[in-house]
Amino acid sequence: MSKMKPQRYLLLTALAALTILGLTGCRSTPVEVLGVEGPDSLQVNQSGTFTATINEDAKPPVEFSWDFGDGSTGAGNPVTHAFTEPGTYTVTVTASNRGGKSTSTGSTSVVVYRPPVPAEIISITADPMQPDTRTAVRFSANVRGDQPITYQWNFGDGSTGSGASPTHTYNQPGTYTVTLNVSNEAGSDSRTLTLTVKPYEAEYCADVAEMNPVFFDRNSSVLNDAAREALQENLQILQDCPNLSVRIEGWAAPGERNPQQLSTDRARAVEQFYTSNGIPASRLVVEGKGRVTGITSKKEGLAQYRRADTIPMQGGM
């Protein structure tokens, strides 16, 4: 057996080394997910971007598949996604190369929450809507928004209240503008309501059909004691029934002088009695009717026609 020459041996050794090095250098590097970046929190329906970081020497091409934890999937890097329901989701990415023979996964968590709902007034109501000065009014509001919600009421008469359904009694009749302000951490809202308050009226007022007449001396429009006593009872009714208006009709009997003027003066005398005792003139209609007609016999008594009648006007003037 002949010995191999040293030069030939060195050449074969070098070729073997190059062959081994070449095979090693051509081997592809597996992909490795080093981390996943994304938002810590999102609002419902707000898009978030998720990015996977891999080793730089991973043999391309590298494919990325995503599982967002809500039943949705995606591909690519980076990716965006919006969640439709609140909750805590684990977002997982799977990276692969070498035709899927090498894979690596990573994940991150995101908290999804509903955006805060500011306080908003849908409607406000009052019961009753036309109270009198002795009736307590209950206010209520239909309000939506995140709790807790603060309620601040201004009743329009210098008084205020709080809470979702306060009550208030007005001391004076009139028209009032009620203001409600609501607020929570997300925002505030306000709304107004117009309320008409009537004077207190006794229950019997709706049934008042007649009131006392008053009688005068012949050719006179001066109220005597009997007339004042009768008018005092009428006055009490008018004070108890502030929504009641009356018509005052003055009359003159046959034979009296200047019957038209006299009848008007008698009606005015009754009007003055009422107004001097606090009844507004706007509730009084004054009319002189002149001489009573159709009387055929003095035996009927003419005194009953020297008079002034106070006639209730139910339903207003």
Q: Write the burial class of residue 241 (CB in 10 Å: 0-12 exposed, 13-18 middle, 19+ buried).
A: buried
Angle (CA) 57 59 65, round 5°: 105
Instruction: Tell whether the model's pLDDT for residue 9 goes beyond 70.
Output: no
Question: What average pLDDT does this structure show over 141-155?
Answer: 97
CA 193 – CA 5 distance, rounded (Å): 115
Residue 275 is predicted with a pLDDT of 97
Sheet order of strands, 120-127 included: 120-127, 137-144, 167-168
Under a CB-based contact definition with an 8 Å cutoff, are residues 183 and 191 in contact?
no
CA 117 – CA 85 distance, rounded (Å): 15
Dump pLDDT digits (tens) for 197-210. Answer: 988 888 888 899 99
- The residues, any chain, with a CB within 8 Å of residue 104's CB and separated by 6 or more, are 30, 31, 32, 33, 54, 94, 95, 96
CATH level 2 (architecture), domain 33-113:
Sandwich (2.60)
Determine what percent of the chain is predicted with pLDDT higher than 70.
Answer: 89
Class of domain 203-313: alpha beta
Q: Smallest Cα–Cα separation from 191: which of 115, 138, 126, 116?
A: 126
Work out whether the CA dihedral 114, 115, 118, 124 comes out positive or negative. negative
Under a CB-based contact definition with an 8 Å cutoff, are residues 225 and 236 in contact?
no
Question: What average pLDDT does this structure show over 165-183?
Answer: 97
CA 242 – CA 205 distance, rounded (Å): 9
Dump pLDDT digits (tens) for 242-268. Answer: 889 999 999 999 999 999 999 999 999
Work out whether the CA dihedral 304, 309, 314, 317 comes out positive or negative. positive
| Tokens of residue 283, six digits | 């509730």
Residue 13 is predicted with a pLDDT of 44
Query: What topology is assigned to 120-197 in CATH?
Result: Immunoglobulin-like (2.60.40)
CA 270 – CA 265 distance, rounded (Å): 9
Decide: pTM greater than 0.75.
no
Lookup result for tokens 């992909």: 31
Instruction: Report the run of H or E that residue 151 belongs to, with start and end.
Output: strand 150-154
Q: Give the pLDDT band (50/70/90) at residue 100.
A: confident
Question: What average pLDDT does this structure show over 114-122?
Answer: 95
Instruction: Report the run of H or E that residue 235 belongs to, with start and end.
Output: helix 225-240
CATH 3.30.1330.60 residue spans of the chain: 203-313
CATH 2.60.40.10 residue spans of the chain: 33-113, 120-197
